Amino acid sequence: MSERVHVLLFDAGSDSEGIHSLELAGRTVVLLFEEEDDALRYAGLLEAQDFPAATVESLSKDEMETFCASAGYEARVVPAGFVPGTAEERLLLAPPEQNLDLSHWKDDEDSDDADPDDEDQEPDLDKERDPQLEAFRRSLEGLL
């Protein structure tokens, strides 16, 4: 049987399911916790920063590493008893104080009615990521 890791999912099992990731030095990193308690603690710290409640899911380490590689993400294992030695490593145990604004991460494409020629509109960055997020969601569903 494959080794299991724990990941943080938002809206697990729904159409807007997403996985927690960090941006580190221009890389998108998905944390794979060996210990469920570490994942639960991290989820609690995120919730304290006004993130939606995350669900801790146990998945195959090999499948998560394969998924991350295929999606262009870096899978970073947080081992049991991990002690950070650098500022970047501390982010593996506690989320950064400042986070990206992802308030629209689970919105459907509501802006389809907008006039594409309206120059005052800001670009919808979430919409640009939807295909990748959708592929990620499908891959995660396949793992479960």
Q: Is the predicted pLDDT of residue 18 greater than 70, yes or no?
A: yes
- What value does the mean pLDDT of the chain take? 77
**Rounded to an integer, what distance in angstroms lies between the CA atom of residue 65 and that of residue 117?**
41
Query: Is there a contact between 79 and 31 (Cβ–Cβ < 8 Å)?
Result: no
Q: In the prediction, which pLDDT does 129 show? A: 46
Helix, strand, coil percentages in the chain from 3-state DSSP, rounded to 5 = 35, 20, 40
Of the candidates 102, 85, 79, 81, the residue with the CA atom closest to the CA atom of residue 22? 102
- Residues 6 or more apart in contact with residue 15 via CB below 8 angstroms: 137
Q: In the prediction, which pLDDT does 138 show? A: 62
Q: Is the predicted pLDDT of residue 136 greater than 70, yes or no?
A: no
pLDDT digits (tens, 9 = 90+) for 80-93: 988 888 888 888 88
Q: Give the mean pLDDT of 28-51.
A: 93
Q: Is the predicted pLDDT of residue 4 greater than 90, yes or no?
A: yes
DSSP state of 29: E
